[in-house]
A and B are shown apart, each in its own frame.
Chain A
C-alpha cells in the first residue's frame, strides 16, 4: 500500500524510519521482505462496491427524467421502501446527510425552530451542522447513553415550554438514531422508540428516525422495519451502507411530508435526472443483501471475541449488537489509535481511529471469513507480546 515490502518476524510492526507514523516505541521493529497483496477494508459499510447483479441491473435499468416527470425505476424503489417502512410515501436522495437534512428542515419549516437530538448523534456530529448553517434550525442536545438511547425524562426536560417565552426557540422535533453509530451500532428497543413517540405526540412534536442502519437493527432484533419505526413521522434509510448499493438513501413519511421533501430536495440540488440507474442497484440490494446482514453481525461477534482475547486490547463483546466494533487500546501516548491505524494500513487492514485510544471496525458483506482471520492476525501481530530487540 505504501510501496513497501516487509515480513513479520513475530514482532509488532513499525513503519520505516523515514515515516513519522509510529512514535518511537523501541519494541516495534520492521524487516522489509515480502509485499502485502491484500486489502481488508473495515473502515465502514459504505465501502461496499456494486455486485455483478447490481451492475447488470444498472445497465438495463428503465429510466426517465425524474425532475420533469418521474423515473419509473425510482418510483418502484420508493414504493417498495415505503411499504417496507409502513409509511405512505418515500423519496430517493443522494445521501443520508441529505435525507436527514431534508427531514429536519421539513419538520422544522418555521423560523425559530428547535430540534432535540443526541449529543453523539450522526446528525449533530457528522453532518457539518447543516441543520443550522443551511436550515436555520437550532439543536438542543441530550446525552446519549451507552445503549444509544436518551433518557426519556431528559428529553422531556429539554422541550421548550409551549407557553412560548420571549427567550426560547420553539421545539418542533425529536430525532433518534437506529442503529446508533457512535455508541457502537446499538439497536434502540422498540418499546423505547414507542415511548419517545408518545412523548412527542403528547407535546405536539414530530419524531424523525435516522435509520441509516435500520436494516441492521431489524435483523439483529428480529423485528420488521415497519414495526420498529411505527411511531416515527419520518425515517431516513441508507441503501449504500450494509445492503451495498453504490449510492443513496430513501426518506419515508406521509404523502404531504414527502411532497414538501421533494421541493426541498430540488432546492438543495438533489434533484437528479435518470436516477433509475442508481435505484435499480438499490432494488437488487434490498432483494439480495438484507438477509446477509445477519452474517455481518456474526462476523463482528467472532472478530470482537478474537480481538478481546488479545491481552493488550479491550473489546466489550456483549456491546457488539450489529456490525460495528470498538477496540480499546492501551493508553500509551506513544502509540495511539491513529498510529495503530497507520500501522494496520501498512498491512492492508483499513480501520478508523474513533478517539485517541479507540479504533472502530465495521463489518460488511464484502468481508470474507478469510479476511476476518487475516485482520485478526494483523491485530495480533501488532499488539501481541512485545519482544524488546530491534531487527
Chain B
C-alpha cells in the first residue's frame, strides 16, 4: 500500500515553488532574439558576477550548455577534447559533441573521487609534431560535482592544476558545473574561486536550485558572443524567456542556502542505509546530495529486488539494470521522507534476507 511519494530519481524533479510561480507570472519580458529579454539579462549579469566571468548566457539545458561550450572552444575542424571516461558529457549527452559538433573525444579514466590523473591528462594531449595522424587537442573538460562518481567535489587546487596544464599547452578549460553550487557549499569555497582557472563553465538552475528549466553558461564576452550564435543555430534561441529566468532568480535567492541541508539529509540517509545488513555505502564518499548504494555478495539482496520494493513503497529511483542504486536528495525531500525511505528499506532488506520469517 503506497501512502506517499518520495522522488529520489534526481534533483531535476524539483518543482517550482509558490514564490517562483509568482515571479514567473509577473516577470518582465521581451523578445530575447530581436533584442533582449530584461529578466534574462538580469539573470545573466548576476550569474556572470557570481562566477567571476565577463558574461553569461541562458540556455534550455545542461546538455546544450556543454555542447555549445565544447563546440565554441573546438570550432576548428579536426579538434579533440580531453574528458573523463565517466563524465556526463561523454556518457549521457548522446555523443552530440561528435555527431553534431564533429569534435573527437579522448577519454581519461575518472578516479573514484571524480578527478583524472594529471599525468594521464598531459599524456593524452596530442603532440603537434604528429599532426599528419592526429586531431589537435583544444580543450580539457572537468565535471564538478562529478555525478557518476557519486557527486564528488573537485577541489579548487586540483582545478587550478588542470588549468595550469591547459595554459601551458595552449588549451582551454571547460567545467561542467551542473552541480557546481553543491560543490561550493560542500567545500566551503566560493564558486568564483572554484572556477577561476576555467575559460567557461555551465551551471544548472533546474537541478538542486530547483528552477523549472535551464542552465547558464559563463565565460569571456567574446566566448559568449559565439555561444549566442551557436545557441540560435542549435535551436535554443527562445523569445520571452524572462518567464523562466524569473524563476531562476528566485532559485538563486531562496534555494542556494538550502543545499547544505540536502547534503545533511544525504549523509543521514547514507549512514542509515549503510547500517543495514547486506547494503554497503561508502559514507565518507557522500560529499554532496548523491548516494550510490551497493549490495553485498552473498546477501540475497539485488538491485532489482530492492528497486521493486522501493517502487511498492512509493519511493522513486531511476529504473535500469545497474547493480547499484542511485539516490539523489533535493530540497523537496524532507527529513521525514528520509526516515520513511530508511524504514521501507529496512523492512525490504529483512523480508528478502529472512523470507522464512514472513
For residue B295, which residues in chain A have a CB less than 8 angstroms away from its CB?
A: none
Q: Bound complex: CA of A202 vs CA of B33, how far in Å?
A: 40
Q: Is the CB of B16 within 8 A of A270?
A: no
* A152 contacts partner chain B, Cβ-Cβ < 8 Å: no
For residue B76, which residues in chain A have a CB less than 8 angstroms away from its CB?
A: none
For residue B232, which residues in chain A have a CB less than 8 angstroms away from its CB?
A: 97, 128
Q: Bound complex: CA of A259 vs CA of B159, how far in Å?
A: 39
Which residue of the partner chain A has the closest CB to B31? A47
For residue A274, which residues in chain B have a CB less than 8 angstroms away from its CB?
A: 15-16, 206, 212-213
Chain-B contact segment, one of A18-26, A141-149, A181-189, A240-248:
A240-248
For residue A240, which residues in chain B have a CB less than 8 angstroms away from its CB?
A: 238-240
* A49 contacts partner chain B, Cβ-Cβ < 8 Å: yes
Q: Is the CB of A44 within 8 A of B31?
A: yes
From residue 174 to 210 of chain A, which have CB atoms closer than 8 A to chain B? Answer: none
Q: Bound complex: CA of A266 vs CA of B206, how far in Å?
A: 15
State how many angstroms separate the Cβ of B38 from the closest Cβ of chain A.
12
State how many angstroms separate the Cβ of A290 from the closest Cβ of chain B.
18
Q: From B10, B63, B234, give the contact of A65 (CB < 8 A).
A: B10
Most B-side CB within 10 Å, residue of A56, A273, A276: A273
Q: Bound complex: CA of A246 vs CA of B37, how far in Å?
A: 11
* B131 contacts partner chain A, Cβ-Cβ < 8 Å: no
* B26 contacts partner chain A, Cβ-Cβ < 8 Å: yes
- The total of chain A residues at the interface (CB under 8 A) is 50
- CB contact under 8 A between A273 and B213, given known A95-B238, A240-B239, A278-B243: yes
For residue B244, which residues in chain A have a CB less than 8 angstroms away from its CB?
A: 247, 277-278
Most A-side CB within 10 Å, residue of B229, B234, B247: B234
Q: From A49, A68, A275, give the contact of B212 (CB < 8 A).
A: A275
For residue A95, which residues in chain B have a CB less than 8 angstroms away from its CB?
A: 235-239
* B13 contacts partner chain A, Cβ-Cβ < 8 Å: yes
Q: Is the CB of B206 within 8 A of A273?
A: yes
- CB contact under 8 A between A277 and B213, given known A47-B30, A50-B240: yes
Q: Is the CB of A268 within 8 A of B64?
A: yes
For residue B59, which residues in chain A have a CB less than 8 angstroms away from its CB?
A: 269
* A160 contacts partner chain B, Cβ-Cβ < 8 Å: no
Q: From B13, B21, B67, B237, give the contact of A97 (CB < 8 A).
A: B237
* A271 contacts partner chain B, Cβ-Cβ < 8 Å: yes
Q: Bound complex: CA of A246 vs CA of B67, how far in Å?
A: 25
The size class of the interface chain B forms with chain A is 35 or more
For residue B240, which residues in chain A have a CB less than 8 angstroms away from its CB?
A: 49-50, 240, 246-247
* A46 contacts partner chain B, Cβ-Cβ < 8 Å: yes
State how many angstroms separate the Cβ of B30 from the closest Cβ of chain A.
7
Q: Is the CB of A268 within 8 A of B234?
A: yes
State how many angstroms separate the Cβ of B244 from the closest Cβ of chain A.
7
Q: From A67, A93, A246, give the contact of B235 (CB < 8 A).
A: A93
Which residue of the partner chain A has the closest CB to B231? A269
Chain B 24-67, CB within 8 Å of chain A: the 1/0 string?
11100111011000000000000000000000000111011101
Q: Is the CB of B31 within 8 A of A98?
A: no
Q: Is the CB of B93 within 8 A of A46?
A: no
Chain A 69-88, CB within 8 Å of chain B: the 1/0 string?
00000000000000000000
* B195 contacts partner chain A, Cβ-Cβ < 8 Å: no
Which residue of the partner chain A has the closest CB to B210? A274
Q: Is the CB of A246 within 8 A of B239?
A: yes
Q: Is the CB of B206 within 8 A of A97?
A: no
Q: Is the CB of B60 within 8 A of A67?
A: no
- Chain A to chain B: the 7 pairs with minimum beta-carbon distance, closest first: A269-B64, A98-B235, A274-B212, A246-B240, A59-B25, A267-B94, A128-B233
Name 22 A/B residue pairs within 8 A (Cβ), A-sorted. A49-B29, A59-B21, A68-B10, A68-B13, A95-B239, A99-B235, A129-B233, A130-B235, A246-B240, A246-B241, A247-B244, A267-B95, A269-B65, A270-B60, A271-B60, A272-B213, A273-B61, A273-B213, A274-B16, A275-B212, A277-B244, A278-B213
